[in-house]
Amino acid sequence: MYKSYYKIKEINNIYKLIKDGIFLIELGCYPGGWSKYIKKYKNKHLKIDIKNIYSKKNFIKGNFYSNKVYKKIFFFSNYNKADLIISDLCPKISKIKFQNKIIFENLLKKIISFSEFFLKKNGNLIFKSMEYNNINILKNFFSYFKKVYKKKLKFTKKSSSEIFYICKDFLYEY
């Protein structure tokens, strides 16, 4: 089983965001650990990644921030917004910390923009980040939610700067 399976399970055991009957969008679903966990629930689950995955059901191959993928999401969702967006995306990381910070900040901006567009009012967001990220990018975005939690998970390596943000109850709908 993938480590990511246990990470999303740990998050869900605490925050109870993945449940039956919701529409959720998963960004960066390869290799499939989060998807395997989500499969236990009866929900509408759309998976998006640039890499192919084992199951093509409800899968869009491509960059989640491209116009082509946006159109496919609208088609799939019948123009409905998501109850939950989850992202385990991580860019390729080098040994140059400053470069990694910039690359990760650009990814976060895209996740934020995507979430503002596709998340319904009172919807929730779970995404991965790194401790060295510029919190200023996130600070304003966090004000769009009633509650935001920062969590270092048990299944994350001790040496890793990986953290997860759990954002609950989106206050706006665009």
**CATH number, domain with residue 110:** 3.40.50.150
135 vs 81, residue with greater confidence: 81
Q: Is the pLDDT of residue 134 over 90?
A: no
- Look at residue 135 in the predicted model and tell me its pLDDT: 66
pLDDT for 64 beyond 80 = yes
pLDDT of residue 94: 67
pLDDT > 60? residue 66 = yes
Q: What total number of domains does the chain contain? A: 1
Domain of residue 117: give its range.
Answer: 3-170
pLDDT digits (tens, 9 = 90+) for 14-34: 999 999 999 999 999 887 788
Tokens 């989640």 belong to residue = 64
Q: What is the mean pLDDT of the chain?
A: 87
How do residues 73-120 score in pLDDT, each as one tens digit? 999 999 999 999 999 887 777 677 667 778 888 888 899 899 999 999
Percent of the chain that is helix, strand, coil (3-state, to 5): 35, 30, 40
In sequence order, which ranges of the chain are alpha helices (DSSP H)?
Answer: 3-15, 33-38, 67-77, 97-118, 135-142
The closest of 127, 118, 125, 119 to 153, measured between CA atoms, is: 127
| Distance between CA atoms of residues 15 and 53, nearest Å | 27
